[in-house]
Structure formats: C-alpha cells, structure tokens
Structure 1
C-alpha cells in the first residue's frame, strides 16, 4: 500500500483532474454518501458541481480543495470553506470529505482532515464546524479527531439512494487555546 500524497488543488488543477474528481464524487454518491446529491446522479452532474461551484469559489479564495493521490489515482478529497459572514470570520467549515470506496480504511480521511486543520490554523480560524449523517462511519472518525457534538437535527437530509430522511450530527472543533464565545 502506497502512502497517499496530499496536495492542495488550484482552480486550474480542477480542469486537469476533472475526470478523476467526477469519478470519486460519482462513486461516493452511488455508494450512499450523503454529500448533497441524490441518484440519479450523472458524471455531467458531477462536472457541473466541480466546474460551476467549486472552481469559482477557489478562484475567489473562499475555499480550499485538498486531494489525496495514491500514484495516479485520486483516492480522496476534502474542502475547507472559509467564506463566512463578518460575524463568523473566526470559523471555517469542512465540506465533502470523500474517499473512493476502493481506497477506504487506509487512513486517507484522517490525513486529509489533518491538512484541513493545518490550513484552518494558517487562516487563523479558531473554530472548525461540519455536519455528518448521524450514525455514519464518519461520525466516530470526527470524534477521534477531537470534534465534539453540538447537536443533532432529525430528518435533515434525504438519503442519496433510499426513500428516507436522515438525521445529521453537527460537530465542531475548537482550535483556540481559549475561546471567548
């Protein structure tokens, strides 16, 4: 097993890796990952997301995109959104931590999250927030990384494949030694 290389992707990198980015997002949605999309979900839908939403927010310096490569394979990615309103510019939000099903259980998600945390500190953000499906495999990962549960919202999002609504767990991690909140 190769050690994944974690790199920050620029907006122009999205053009270079668009097929791989679409493949990983498509695979996760069709594997049941709750990442805002539902089936049917096509490669064109994935391409539209990467090109029209993510590429522009990276260009505007509102978000970073990190990718994990094992050789030429895109194994995972994660985003850090730091385009917060003025009264929340002390925080940032983790978005779309996805690992291709063929590359899971190798520590890739943990490595991507470590990079996100480093970036948040570099941006001088004191608080990282995220949400995940209650009871998902990601929930214990986030807890093991020091995230705490802020609350649970029932029926928050539709499952990407099944006809049901799932609860979401809101989580946070305080990066400041003292938080005057």
Structure 2
C-alpha cells in the first residue's frame, strides 16, 4: 500500500549516497520500456554517471531530488524539479525523470511524488511547471488527474528504448 511509502526531498550528500539505488530504478524503468532519454541496453555505468550528474546538480542548487522509499529505506521511485532556468524565467521549473520501479506501480507512489514535487516547487517560489511524456502512455492520465494542462504533441520527438519513434506530449501547470 502507498501508506507504507514516504516521499521526501534529499540533500546533496544523501543524493550522492543514493546513486546506486537510483540507478537500479532507472535501469528497471528503461528495461520496462520507459522512454526517459536512455536506450536499451542501459549499461549500469551509464545509469550511475547520470545519477552522479543529478547529485552534482543538487549540490549546485540547480535541481531538487525527491525519492519515494519504504520504511526499510528501499527507493521505489523518484522525481526531479529542475530549478535552474534562464534569467527571464525565474518563476518556472521543469519536472524530470518521474520514475517508479515496475514492482511498485499501481500503489499511488507516482501520485505521491507529483503532490510532493508541487509542494517543493511552491517552496522554491516556482509558479509555472513544465514536463513532457510519451504520448498515449500511462503517465498522461496521472498528469491530467493532477491538474496538468496539455500544451501539445510533437510526433517522432524521441525514441523508445527499443529504437522505435514515439510522440511526446508537453504539459504545463500553474501553481
């Protein structure tokens, strides 16, 4: 049940310490077909390098990292708020890498992550959020239920992990 899972923001030192577990979540999601910027097969060293870069972004206050974890400390999901934006967009942030391990899906964890990232965005003074997702995927329903507005779709925007083209739908939300 989702009440056994808590979502929290982690700081720079903890982000570095979580790199291995976050790499596990990323690899699992890509192996499950998630189009999240990586192709199959996703080598572990590449996933680790990605998360080390995210941790560096947390250190530089360019992004916020949230994790969903069990009482025992197992990381089941994550989402990022990218706060580093151009000078003329200090009010905006991007949502990135909303990931939930396949074994933990359909338990409300993604919804918990989205509620938490909204709260963090407000704390950070952000009033416009933007994200993109695979057109027709399960995440679209999640985002629309959470109050996100569809801005538009770009055909053949990205590739699925197996190399097939996929359309991407862009969303925004005013807080």
Instruction: Provide structure 1 residue ranges, at least 5 long, that are not aligned to the other structure.
Output: 176-181
Distance in 2 between residues matched to 1:58 and 1:15, nearest whole Å: 9
Do structure 1's residue 68 and structure 2's residue 54 form an aligned pair?
no
Instruction: Report the more deviating stretch, 13-22 or 135-144.
Output: 13-22
> Could you tell me which residue of structure 2 aligns to residue 168 of structure 1?
168
State the superposition RMSD in angstroms. Answer: 1.0
Q: CA deviation at 1:122?
A: 1.0
For 2:4, what is the secondary structure of its paired residue? Answer: coil
Q: What is the rounded CA distance, in whole Å, between the counterparts of 2:16 and 2:92 in structure 1?
A: 29
1:115-148 alpha-carbon deviations (Å, 9 max, x no partner): 1100111111111100000000000100000000
Listed as ranges, the matches of 1:2-13 within 5 Å are 3-13=4-14
Q: Do structure 1's residue 94 and structure 2's residue 95 form an aligned pair?
A: yes
- Write out aligned runs for 1:132-171 (5 A): 132-161=133-162, 163-171=163-171
Q: Distance in 2 between matches of 1:21 and 1:96?
A: 11
- State the distance in 2 between where 1:56 and 1:18 align: 11
Q: CA deviation at 1:72?
A: 2.7
Determine the C-alpha separation between the residues in 1 that align with 2:18 and 2:167. 33
- Structure 1 moving runs of 4+ over 3 Å: none
How many residue pairs were aligned?
Answer: 173
Contact 2:15 2:65 in 1 (8 A): no
The aligned runs of 1:44-83 (5 Å cut-off) are: 44-51=45-52, 53-70=53-70, 71-83=72-84
Q: Output the CA distance in 2 between the equivalents of 1:90 and 1:7.
A: 22
Which 10-residue stretch deviates more, 62-71 or 7-16?
A: 7-16
SS of residue paired to 1:25: helix
**Deviation for aligned residue 1:16:** 2.0
Report the equivalent of 1:179.
none
Normalising to structure 1: TM-score of the pair? 0.92
Determine the C-alpha separation between the residues in 2 that align with 1:142 and 1:83. Answer: 22
